[in-house]
Amino acid sequence: MSLENRYSRLTTHDSQTMLLNKSEYLFNKAQKFIPGGVNSPARAFKSVGGVPVFFKKAKGSVITDEDGNEFIDYVGSWGPMILGHAFPPVVKAVQDASFNSTSFGAPTELEIEMAELVQQMVPNVERVRMVNSGTEACMSAVRVARGYTGKEKIIKFEGNYHGHGDAFLIKAGSGALTLGKPSSPGVTKGTAKDTLNADYNDLPSVEKLLKKNKGNVAAIILEPVAGNMGCIPPEPGFLEGLRKLCDEHETVLIFDEVMTGFRLARGGAQERFNIWADLVTFGKIIGGGLPVGAFGGKKEIMDVVAPVGPVYQAGTLSGNPLAMSAGLAQLGALEKYPEIYVDLEEKTEYLKKNLTNVLNKHELDYHMNQVGSMISLFFTKEKVRDFKGANSTDQQFFKQFFHEMLKRGIYLPPSPFESWFLANTLTYEMLDKTIAAADESIGVVKSAS
């Protein structure tokens, strides 16, 4: 089926008897068994409308839907696929490991290899604990910070997203923002009162909270480059200022590097900006596409974690051999070939430069943020530096742009509040195709509006 067919049917069908494409059929069926038909809300196309694409396979940067349509992928499973889908060493590592059992619930040598490799790549991670997702990593890091300091409150930033732990679902980003519900019912008032929200890139807002809650802030947690309200870089001095404030107030600085870890450099945002947190959380790339997260940092702090210390944290599948093998294969490649980061950055800059030309040609209001291989296009003339900025872009234009791009075989994140993630398997030919598609798409959306 051609993409054109998919779309003509999507936009014109109004009869139950009309043949559905496979994504439509599967989405209808999924909703009978799964809340909203998806296992994570950001996938539901709520902010762009229409039917989520159901995929069946991917290789490198080409992802194929259930109808056999191929798309150039800028989602990369929301970050993990920095080396492209089905990266052969990851596939082989998973296959090999599975023959020896998928889980022991007991220690393995692979876990030590992983911990050593993480420390090699991110030197301030003196101790690391493996978990099963970025959410778990962030929840655990905050518990550790509380146990270590004996303080209760945390400061986070509006529009940042640290997974779906209760404490983080107050003014959160990502899917929560996409659904227009940044604060979730089900979070108790007790939990909410311990989460303080500051404005991203605004040090005075942090200072104010620290002053007001003097002696009771256990941690400041943030995405050092925000990726869950679109990509928003830290302004000069912001990370430095937070480091200083944490030292002054004996507050643990937690960098949520679930998106940025092993992506912006081998040592993530910490290495890129040369600001070192006390605790760091990981997810996505560290698992090579398997469900993996990790938190780690200074030995002195991590020693509060059970069984060394009293702060409890556990998991039957944590550090399981399949996940460790996949992660080791992917991190191993990034460690061995640091030129991948140069290549990725060049490709992302090429995309940015050429999209800029297209946007200027169409005399459109836009703002593009890019750090390494993370990039976001916002339809606004203002600089986007915080949640307020991200939330005041032209979301209707994005929605139409997204669908025009999809029609032309380009799969972007289905929300203006998510970063695009590039993989080194993207070729310049694919980038050129993307740029041409953007040119056409913008032309179409502009003339329709």
Of all residues in this chain, which one has the CB nearest to ligand HOZ in the complex?
A: 40
Closest CB 283 distance from ligand HOZ, rounded Å: 9
CA diameter of the chain: 67
Near ligand HOZ by CB under 6 A: residue from 2, 8, 11, 40: 40
User: Is residue 158 a contact residue for ligand HOZ (CB under 6 A)?
Assistant: no
Q: What is the dihedral of CA 110, 112, 117, 119, to 10 degrees?
A: 160
Joined together, the tokens standing for residue 340 give 């991948």
Closest CB 418 distance from ligand HOZ, rounded Å: 5
Nearest CB to ligand HOZ, comparing residues 57 and 208: 57
Instruction: With contacts defined by CB under 6 A, name the span among 38-46, 108-116, 216-224, 379-387 that binds ligand HOZ.
Output: 38-46
Nearest CB to ligand HOZ, comparing residues 158 and 278: 158
Nearest CB to ligand HOZ, comparing residues 228 and 391: 228
Nearest CB to ligand HOZ, comparing residues 161 and 276: 161
**Would you call 161 a catalytic residue per the annotation?**
yes
- Helices and strands, number each (H, E), in the chain: 16, 14
Joined together, the tokens standing for residue 191 give 């939990």
Residue 448 backbone dihedrals phi, psi, to 5 degrees: -85, -15
User: Is residue 367 a contact residue for ligand HOZ (CB under 6 A)?
Assistant: no
**From 161, 341, 366, 411, active-site residue:** 161
For the four alpha carbons of 15, 16, 20 and 22, in that order, the dihedral sign comes to positive
In the block, residue with structure tokens 């104010």: 208
User: Is residue 169 a contact residue for ligand HOZ (CB under 6 A)?
Assistant: no
User: Is residue 133 a contact residue for ligand HOZ (CB under 6 A)?
Assistant: no
**From 256, 278, 386, 394, active-site residue:** 256
Cα–Cα distance between 149 and 284 in angstroms, integer? 28
Instruction: With contacts defined by CB under 6 A, name the span among 40-48, 147-155, 274-282, 385-393 that binds ligand HOZ.
Output: 40-48
User: Is residue 320 a contact residue for ligand HOZ (CB under 6 A)?
Assistant: no
Closest CB 42 distance from ligand HOZ, rounded Å: 4
Closest CB 51 distance from ligand HOZ, rounded Å: 16
Up-side HSE of residue 183: CA atoms within 13 Å toward CB? Answer: 13
Near ligand HOZ by CB under 6 A: residue from 23, 174, 320, 434: 174
User: Is residue 43 a contact residue for ligand HOZ (CB under 6 A)?
Assistant: yes
**Would you call 256 a catalytic residue per the annotation?**
yes
Closest CB 318 distance from ligand HOZ, rounded Å: 20
Nearest CB to ligand HOZ, comparing residues 161 and 341: 161
Pairing of strands 55-59, 62-65: antiparallel
For the four alpha carbons of 241, 243, 372 and 165, in that order, the dihedral sign comes to negative
**Would you call 284 a catalytic residue per the annotation?**
yes
Distances (CA, A) of 277 to 123, 180, 222, 355: 11, 31, 10, 34
Instruction: With contacts defined by CB under 6 A, name the span among 37-45, 179-187, 327-335, 367-375 that binds ligand HOZ.
Output: 37-45
Closest CB 78 distance from ligand HOZ, rounded Å: 4
Work out the number of other CB atoms within 10 angstroms of the CB of residue 213.
17
User: Is residue 282 a contact residue for ligand HOZ (CB under 6 A)?
Assistant: no
> Would you call 155 exposed, middle or buried from its count of C-beta atoms within 10 A (0-12, 13-18, 19+)?
buried
Cα–Cα distance between 278 and 298 in angstroms, integer? 6
Closest CB 184 distance from ligand HOZ, rounded Å: 14
Radius of gyration of the chain (CA): 22
- Residues in 405-424 at the binding interface with ligand HOZ, rule: CB under 6 A: 418
User: Is residue 263 a contact residue for ligand HOZ (CB under 6 A)?
Assistant: no
Work out the number of other CB atoms within 10 angstroms of the CB of residue 49.
11
# residues near ligand HOZ by CB under 6 A: 9
CA-based end-to-end distance of the chain: 29
What is the DSSP track for 91-155? HHHHHHHHTT-S--SS--HHHHHHHHHHHHHSTT--EEEEESSHHHHHHHHHHHHHHHH---EEE
User: Is residue 42 a contact residue for ligand HOZ (CB under 6 A)?
Assistant: yes
Nearest CB to ligand HOZ, comparing residues 78 and 273: 78
**From 284, 347, 399, 407, active-site residue:** 284
Report long-range pairs for 362-370 (Cβ below 8 Å, ≥24 apart).
362/439, 362/442, 362/443, 362/446, 364/442, 364/446, 365/394, 367/393, 369/230, 369/231, 369/232, 369/233, 370/231
- Residues in 226-255 at the binding interface with ligand HOZ, rule: CB under 6 A: 228
Closest CB 132 distance from ligand HOZ, rounded Å: 14
Catalytic residues, by residue number, are 161, 256, 284
What is the contact surface with ligand HOZ in residues (CB under 6 A)?
40, 42-43, 78, 161, 174-175, 228, 418
